[in-house]
Structure 1
Amino acid sequence: MAIEVRPATVFEDVRTMVGPKRPDANVCWCLSYRIPSTRNRALVGPERGRLVEELIAEDIPPGILAYDGDEVVGWAGVHPRVDTSFQRNRKIPHIDDLDVWSVWCIRVRPGHRGRGISHALLAGAVDLARSHGAPAIEGYPVDNDGKKVDLTMAYVGTRALFEAEGFEKAADTTSVLNGFPRVLMRLALV
């Protein structure tokens, strides 16, 4: 079956991809880059899921989901940079004043990896940004030079993934993840 990518508007599917196994657990919910760090630290347990429900109801959803038939198999966090912590991040530079979008998390469910779903998610993030008039979209993947990235840290993507979808390196960063430097990758949309 072909992978279909859609805006993340179904809470249960978002929960499947980024929510906890236990409702009281303090997992990311893909909020760590989406909201200010003080608010992120203050939200605990079910409050995190309630905020995600609110974000899903906004005009621009907090991300996109990939489906294999009716089964949700992937997630990508994507939104205008101005609404993310990247707007204030000191380790990831702003290269200009464009109202760019950021894609910061790409996640594929176990058992579905190795089928190109990450590529479909990144292409879907580009489509969502373009459909909302974004002039460009950025990502901040690791530059791992083909070396293995720990799966718990692979959520930012790799430079090779972004290059395969037409992104180009726009700047170095001072951010490091899993021992690898992160780079600012950008794709112009206009």
Structure 2
Amino acid sequence: MPIEVRPAVVFEDVATMVGPKRPDANVCWCLSYRLPSREHLALRGTARGERVRELVAQDPPPGVLAYDGEDVVGWAGVHPRADTSFARNRRIPRVDDLDVWSVWCLRVRPGHRGRGIVHPLLAGAVDLARSYGAPAVEGYPVDNGGAKVDITMAYVGTRHVFERAGFTKAADTTSVLAGFPRVLMRLDLR
């Protein structure tokens, strides 16, 4: 059965992908790049999930979900860069003044990894941005040169994954994750 990617509008499915096993735990919920730092750090416990519930109800949604049949198997955080912490990030440069969208998280559920789900997931993130008129989409993956990336840090993707989706390197960054430099990859949608 092919993987289907849909806008992230079902809170329970988003929670399955990015929420904690315990609702009161202080985990990311994929908010660290989506919210201003002060708001992100102030949210504790169940307030984090409630904030994600609010984002899921907004238009545009906070990302896309990949489904294998009715089972949610993947998540990609994608939104206008202006609404993310990348708008103010000193380590990830701004290439120009276009109202680009950013992809900052690609996550595939354990048990479903190694099946190439990340590729339709990234394509679905691009499709969502395109449907809202984005002139371009950016990602900030690690440039790992084919070396293994620790699974907990692989959420930003790899340069190869973005290149395979048609993105090209637009700039170097001063950001490093898991010992690998991050690069700014861009796909022009105009």
TM-score in terms of structure 1 length: 0.99
Runs of 4+ residues over 3 Å off in structure 1:
none
In angstroms, what is the RMSD of aligned CA positions? Answer: 0.4
Task: Verify: 1:116 aligned to 2:116, yes or no.
Answer: yes
Deviations 1:102-133 (A, max 9, x none): 00000000110111110111000110000000
Structure 2's unaligned 5+ residue stretches are: none
CA-CA distance at 1:7 after TM superposition = 0.3
CA–CA separation in structure 1 for the residues paired with 2:129 and 2:15: 22
Deviations 1:125-175 (A, max 9, x none): 110000000000000000000000000000000000000000000000000
Comparing 107-116 and 171-180, the one that deviates more: 107-116
SS of 2:143's equivalent in the other structure is coil
Matches for 1:36-115 after TM superposition, within 5 Å = 36-115=36-115
Q: Which residue of 2 aligns with 1:151?
A: 151
CA–CA separation in structure 2 for the residues paired with 1:45 and 1:63: 22
CA–CA separation in structure 2 for the residues paired with 1:24 and 1:53: 15
SS of 1:153's equivalent in the other structure is helix
Structure 1's unaligned 5+ residue stretches are: none
Deviations 1:71-120 (A, max 9, x none): 00000000000000000000000010000000000000011011111011
Q: Which residue of 2 aligns with 1:9?
A: 9
CA–CA separation in structure 2 for the residues paired with 1:24 and 1:157: 28
CA–CA separation in structure 1 for the residues paired with 2:187 and 2:107: 20
What percentage of residue pairs aligned between the two structures are identical? Answer: 78
CA-CA distance at 1:62 after TM superposition = 0.4
TM-score in terms of structure 2 length: 0.99
Q: Which residue of 2 aligns with 1:33?
A: 33
Q: Which residue of 1 aligns with 2:183?
A: 183
CA–CA separation in structure 1 for the residues paired with 2:148 and 2:91: 23
CA-CA distance at 1:29 after TM superposition = 0.4
SS of 1:64's equivalent in the other structure is strand
One-letter amino acid of the counterpart of residue 104, structure 2: W
CA–CA separation in structure 2 for the residues paired with 1:151 and 1:114: 12
